[in-house]
Amino acid sequence: MREKDLGADLRAVLITKDEIDSRLAELAAEIDARYDGRDVLIVGVLKGAVMVMADLARALATPVTMDWMAISSYGAGTQSSGVVRILKDLDTDIKDKHVLIVEDIIDSGLTLSWLLANLGSREPASLEIVTLLRKPDAAKVDIDVRWVGFDIPNEFVVGYGLDYGEKYRNLPFVGTLAPHVYGG
């Protein structure tokens, strides 16, 4: 799906595909340096992190295994509900493993805070976070995020795995939608 395919539904492109690709390559180099000589389990948070996880994994030189976890704190709208539930747990025992959580976006941090506590209780050797996007102005809890691709304004964004009503995930960029899309 391309920018022009959205027509009037697209308000703005915030981060281009080239900018994402370049930043993921930089993050991969930093992650490779951090885990030099160690095996790493990368844990993607479904569904949004699919694109980030796939592209980051391909950019890494470090040997990795992958697993997925699905947790939810969102309904069909644009605001977090604050209630977290596990939709799909890990298939892998993470005890004594180096675990890297791969996120698409961190806004309030409430869901990720819950996930860190949950995974931390499983006794990994290390537990770090990489996220493509972070909204510092939306943070409600302080989370130590080791790697951040881009800090963005506190706006609802779509593309590169992020959706609105399960649409727009396949955009190769991150953008904002026009108000009429939300019924405004």
Write out the catalytic residue numbers: 107
- Please give the C-alpha separations between residue 94 and each of 41, 76, 117, 184, in angstroms, as whole numbers: 8, 31, 13, 45
- Please give the C-alpha separations between residue 71 and each of 13, 38, 121, 174, in angstroms, as whole numbers: 27, 27, 17, 22
- Rounded Cα distance between 165 and 86, Å, is 20
The count of other CB atoms within 10 Å of the CB of residue 85 is 10
**How would you classify the pairing of strands 98-106 and 126-134?**
parallel
- Rounded Cα distance between 99 and 39, Å, is 9
